Amino acid sequence: MSESSRIPVLIMLLFVITVQLLALAITPVIFASDYRVFADPTSTTNPVVYMLLILAFTALLLLAIKKKKSWIVSGFIQISIASSIYYLMAAFMPPLLALLPTAAVLLLLRYYPEWYVIDAFGIVVCAGISSLFGVSMAILPTLLLLIILAVYDAISVYKTRHMVSLAEGVIKIKAPLLFVVPRSRSYSFRKDPAPVSTPASVDAGGNLVFGNPADSNQTSSSQAEKAGGKRGAFFLGLGDAIIPTILVISAYTSLPAGGFLGINLPAIGAMLGTYLGFLALMTTSRDRPQAGLPFLNSGVILGFLVGCLVAGIAPF
């Protein structure tokens, strides 16, 4: 990893750490609310339902991109964003009142999608989505979901490559589904030209787009994109922060409390495993697009299992 890319990568890692800490902080409120993604957290059909929704959502977006109907892509993304914000806000305030911050955030993202606005939004929404899914799924369904998504991510990047096309479409319309790390203080995401080339490999020149589509907001797979020269920022898809954090929250709520500051060892192990998986991803070959979830999910699962072993907790 070159010096020019090391700092942005560390900032991206900091985003992931912040998301997980914030998710843990808001989980008691989410857990106490009646909002759940799945009625039965222990059902092993939950990952299947989740995966079917992802496939249907992805197919619709790819069809819209192929037909050059960017307004359809934008509409689906706006609906997903609005739903995510609303359900998060509704856990902290009356449902009717939650419409106000939801509308405010949507207007801000629509008319002023600058990088720091998108980053702040990304941290909050990632924490909220992770917490909502984490309290809605027990350990076994969560592990099954992460394994399924890791396999799907690898297939979609290395075999079918349809997530490459989806990534191009999402970035072209500047959808707020990415963390943005500017290369310079003068950088403006709003004025950054839309990508025009095929996603290439992660390189040392700053032409980076990291991420993963396999989450409820459909972010792009870990990969880089060249746009005829150095791009002005590094990007990290929200899914790479959301998906591993679901297991962190599931471990935190499903297993006995304890450990450090009330966070049990399996959850702590899952957090540390996420960070190791992320760093492993950043050291992979730069000559082709890389799928993020095989690294991140492997890391978070292994860290979780080690935490269970150290704590003497049987997770099933």
Confidence of residue 308 (pLDDT cuts 50, 70, 90): very high
Q: Phi and psi of 166, rounded to 5°?
A: -65, -40
Please classify residue 192 by burial: count the beta carbons closer than 10 Å to its beta carbon, then call 0-12 exposed, 13-18 middle and 19+ buried.
middle
Of residues 297 and 172, which shows the higher confidence score?
Answer: 297
**Residue, of 4 and 153, whose pLDDT is higher:** 153
Q: Is the pLDDT of residue 225 over 70?
A: no
Task: Report the C-alpha gap between 284 and 54 in whole angstroms.
Answer: 26
28: number of CA atoms within 13 Å, CB side? Answer: 5
Q: Are strands 224-225 and 208-210 parallel, antiparallel or unpaired?
A: unpaired
Do residues 221 and 237 lie in contact, with contact meaning Cβ atoms separated by under 8 Å? yes
Task: Outline where 155-292 has alpha helix (H).
Answer: 162-172, 239-254, 265-282
Name the amino acid, one letter, at 177: L
The DSSP 8-state label assigned to residue 67 in this structure reads: T
pLDDT (0 to 100) of residue 201: 30
Which helix H or strand E contains 75, and what residues bound it? helix 70-90
Which stretch of 14-18, 49-53, 175-179, 305-309 has the lowest confidence by average pLDDT?
175-179
Residue 243 above 90 pLDDT? yes
At residue 286, the pLDDT reads: 54
The helix-helix angle for 46-66 and 70-90 (nearest 10°) equals 150
Sign, Cα dihedral of 171, 175, 180, 183:
positive
Q: What is the pLDDT of residue 296?
A: 95
More confident residue, 75 or 204: 75
The neighbour count for residue 160, using CB atoms within 10 Å, is 11
Mean pLDDT along residues 214-220: 36
The pLDDT score that the predictor gives to residue 287 is 55
Tell how strand 208-210 and strand 233-237 pair up: parallel
pLDDT one-digit tens code per residue, 109-140: 888 888 999 999 999 999 999 999 999 999 99
Please give the mean pLDDT across all residues of the chain: 81
- pLDDT value, residue 117: 93
Both tokens assigned to 82:
């609005």
**Residue in the structure block whose two tokens are 């059902």:** 43
What is the tens place of the pLDDT at every residue in 263-304?
999 999 999 999 999 999 888 755 566 778 999 999 999 999
Which tokens belong to 233?
């920022």
When pLDDT is averaged across residues 212-225 and rounded to a whole number, the result is: 36
Q: 186 CB contacts (<8 Å, ≥6 apart)? A: none
Q: Would you state the structure tokens that stand for residue 195, as one six-digit string?
A: 């990508």
Among 291, 292, 255, smallest CA distance to 270 is for 255
Q: Kindly tell me if the per-residue pLDDT of 37 is higher than 90.
A: no
Stretch among 224-228, 232-236, 290-294 having the lowest mean pLDDT: 224-228
13 in Cβ contact with 278 (< 8 Å) = yes
Model confidence band, residue 56 (pLDDT cutoffs 50, 70, 90): confident
- Of the candidate ranges 77-86, 192-201, 238-247, the one whose mean pLDDT is the lowest: 192-201
237 beta partners:
178
Res. 230: pLDDT tops 60: no
User: What span, in angstroms and rounded, lies between the C-alpha atoms of 63 and 81?
Assistant: 20
Q: At what angle do helices 239-254 and 293-311 cross, to 10 degrees?
A: 20
What per-residue confidence (pLDDT) applies to 155? 87
